[in-house]
Structure 1
Amino acid sequence: MRLFAAEWSRLFARRFTRMMFLIVILLLALIGGGIAYSSHVPTDAARAKAKVEADRQRAFLTQQRARCEEAVRNPRPTPSPGSTAGTEPGTPGTEPGGPPGGELGPVSTPPPGVTCAEYFNPAEIDDASFLPSTFGFAREAHDLVLVFGGIFAMLAFAVGASFVGAEWSSGSMMNLLIWRPRRILVLLTKLFTLLFGLAVTGALLAAAWVAAAYGIARYRGEVGRVTQGSLTSLGLDTARALGLALAAAAIGFALASLGRHTAMAMGVAVGYLLVIEVGLNIVLRLTEVPKVERWFLSSYVQAWLDKKAQFVDFTPCRYAEGDCAPVEWSISMDDSAVILGVATLALVAVSVIAMRRRDVA
């Protein structure tokens, strides 16, 4: 307990930790202020105007669907090259600069496997899409939680790396091991203290962030329909965001412990982003490797936060032959939990083994 108390005090007494928390709070405040400034409370007049515009769009899609179904039932032959049929002066839809087919424009046909009813679906038109920018808590709280998760994960990685890296580079680790000579216990206690401290502060920040989002919606937007199920889902979104941040902290801690310096973890992170996420991504796409997203951690992070990540693989397409059969595939939240969990535990295990076997000085 004395070791835990000492590490807890050291974690929050460090200037770097305080600065990182201050930066995160300022970033969230700027984002929240921007949302509040750009959001408008929808008035009755704005709602009526939005409904008129949405009804007009729905009527247009209904007409286009009818024309599409007619074109599918009675396809017209393609005019031969040089044919002048239908181009006499006065023919509807052939005025210079005007679309063929009159005011409705040309008949669009859906891609293979998609019906006209699916391609022109009036039910997809929502009145809210034509309202002035309005923040809706029930509609957009999930996205704000993901924003918080990404920002807090970066903080957690930096704090985790600095928490152990600074002690290695300054020689404090050697002094600490004189007081507590059990290396593995010291390292794991530091890691546990880091994760517990970030979990507590992250939960408080997340609660304040969600409360701020609700306040913005209450006074500068609309709350929407909030149910017990939606609140439970929002809580699970927040838990996944915090879980990602704790994994990032553990990875940063392990890398800095292996390199005995904070810069080691930062360098590895930047190198991974540039070489793997950017460089290798470009190479694999140029060589038409199928399902290229499965080789990058960012895809699994996306799937973890969104519960599922959908991708479309176009490598089977052969445009020169005139056909295209893209493959739709996905990464589930369970897949992400396995990949991210194994990567985190592996790095922590390697750092523990290295701590046990090598010299401290």
Structure 2
Amino acid sequence: MLRLTKVELRRLFARRMIKVGVSGLFLITALLMFATWLEARPASESEQRAAQQQYEFAHREWVSNHVTNEAQCKADWVKQPDPKPKVEDMCAYPEPKLEEFGRPQQVYAEVMPQQLLGLSYLLLFAAFVLGASFLAAEFSTGAIGNWLTFEPRRLRVYGSKLLAAAIGLLPVALVVFTVAMLGSYLIIDQLGNTATTTGKVWGDLAATAGRAVVLTALGAALGGVAGLLLRHTAAALGVAMGYLVLVEAIFGNLLVKVQPWLIKLNFDAFVRHDTTYYVNQCASSSDGGYLCNSIEKTLTFEHGAWYLGILAVVLLLLGGAVFHRRDVS
């Protein structure tokens, strides 16, 4: 098995699409660093003047209306159905501050977690496509039939190919996340604020990146399964895009209660170590109206880990069963 995996790794990195895909990932990472620099630049003089004008206008409005607005909000709060937020939270109208206007200063501890999540989406998608192309090419060229004449034990061939796809994308993901974390830190340290970047923050960021690396490897393996089942990279990509549009975007938005069973939210829960989502809770009010509150709920890391783990095992077993029994010609 180890010998087969080494051979598959060499074949993986010999493919042109893998080289192009990995180069594209590094290019996107460089562009991300450039975008971070653009966001972290201090505001220009014209932007500072505009921010000052916006602040002065907002402050005048606050002085004139905040008492009336708070009184009206408290009257509306009484009519809200239970459960309702605290009146202090719902009806807070704090005095505007100048630093709230204009371009905010970039804070590394606040920017980086979202940046890592966005990178994890990119790497998962890229790994899925590259893994699918790796195995689909074996069928479209007929190479899989020739390979099975040298190694007829199909499950060993199946396992070695998926393992090579997963292992091959691991160092790529590690480099991308390392460059992103350190590059962004150096940029924001010069132009923004890194004072809140404590040891705990570094530990949390490293753990987030580590979980994303694991899912990148898993995505490459599952992409390989899709390539094996569909025998064409475009078909695997079409299925993935169809799922994202029809299930995640349309079905998930129409039926918000199914969100805990969608892949994206469980992916977020695993990478971020818990995530939140919102559902609407509606009830009739005493005056005959119909009011809705948006309730925040938490999807735990454990739920995401079990969900993704079970889904991966089912798909890997399905792929193995199909490859073991189906004609490869």
TM-score by length of structure 2 reads 0.82
Q: Distance in 1 between matches of 2:95 and 2:161?
A: 52
Q: Distance in 1 between matches of 2:97 and 2:11?
A: 53
* 2:289 paired residue number: 322
Structure 2 contact 62–96 (Cα < 8 Å) conserved: no
2:164 is aligned, of 193, 207, 219, to: 193
* 1:21 paired residue number: 22
Q: Secondary structure at the match of 1:108?
A: helix
Q: Secondary structure at the match of 1:329?
A: strand
Q: Structure 1 residues 114 and 329, CA, compared in 2 at 3 Å: closer, same or farther?
A: closer
* 2:5 paired residue number: 4
- Cα deviations by residue, 1:19-62 (Å, 9 ceiling, x for unpaired): 1112222222222212212322489xx8xx99xx69x96x959x
- Cα deviations by residue, 1:172-217 (Å, 9 ceiling, x for unpaired): 1112112222111111011111111211221122111111111211
AA paired with 2:24? I
1:303 is aligned, of 244, 253, 269, to: 269
The alpha carbon displacement at 1:250 in A equals: 2.1
Structure 1 contact 40–132 (Cα < 8 Å) conserved: no
Q: Structure 1 residues 333 and 127, CA, compared in 2 at 3 Å: closer, same or farther?
A: farther
* 2:233 paired residue number: 262
- Cα deviations by residue, 1:257-281 (Å, 9 ceiling, x for unpaired): 1122223311211222233224434
Q: Distance in 1 between matches of 2:96 and 2:194?
A: 21
Q: Distance in 2 between matches of 1:128 and 1:346?
A: 52
Counterpart check, 1:139 vs 2:110: yes
2:73 is aligned, of 69, 88, 108, to: 108
**1:138-287 correspondence runs (5 A):** 138-281=109-252, 285=254
Moved more, 9-18 or 321-330: 321-330
* 1:343 paired residue number: 311
* 1:89 paired residue number: none
* 1:38 paired residue number: 39
AA paired with 2:266? Y
Higher relative contact order (CA 8 A, sep 6+): 2
- Cα deviations by residue, 1:287-329 (Å, 9 ceiling, x for unpaired): xx56132342222223333333323322644589414354543
Q: Distance in 1 between matches of 2:98 and 2:185?
A: 22
Q: Which runs of 5+ in 1 are unaligned?
A: 72-106
Q: Distance in 2 between matches of 1:124 and 1:21?
A: 50
Q: Structure 1 residues 328 and 141, CA, compared in 2 at 3 Å: closer, same or farther?
A: closer
Q: Structure 1 residues 337 and 267, CA, compared in 2 at 3 Å: closer, same or farther?
A: same
Structure 1 contact 161–255 (Cα < 8 Å) conserved: yes
AA paired with 1:24? L
**1:67-86 correspondence runs (5 A):** 71=71
**1:123-138 correspondence runs (5 A):** 129-130=100-101, 132-138=103-109
Q: Structure 1 residues 270 and 338, CA, compared in 2 at 3 Å: closer, same or farther?
A: same
Q: Structure 1 residues 139 and 180, CA, compared in 2 at 3 Å: closer, same or farther?
A: same
Q: CA RMSD in A?
A: 3.3
Moved more, 183-192 or 291-300: 291-300
* 2:299 paired residue number: 331
AA paired with 1:322? G
Structure 2 contact 283–291 (Cα < 8 Å) conserved: yes
Q: Structure 1 residues 28 and 290, CA, compared in 2 at 3 Å: closer, same or farther?
A: closer
AA paired with 2:41? H
Q: Distance in 2 between matches of 1:41 and 1:114?
A: 37
Q: Distance in 2 between matches of 1:29 and 1:230?
A: 23
Q: Distance in 1 between matches of 2:85 and 2:250?
A: 36
Structure 1 contact 157–249 (Cα < 8 Å) conserved: yes
Counterpart check, 1:359 vs 2:315: no
Count, aligned residues: 313
Structure 1 contact 68–116 (Cα < 8 Å) conserved: no
The alpha carbon displacement at 1:127 in A equals: 7.1
The alpha carbon displacement at 1:128 in A equals: 5.2
Structure 2 contact 227–233 (Cα < 8 Å) conserved: yes
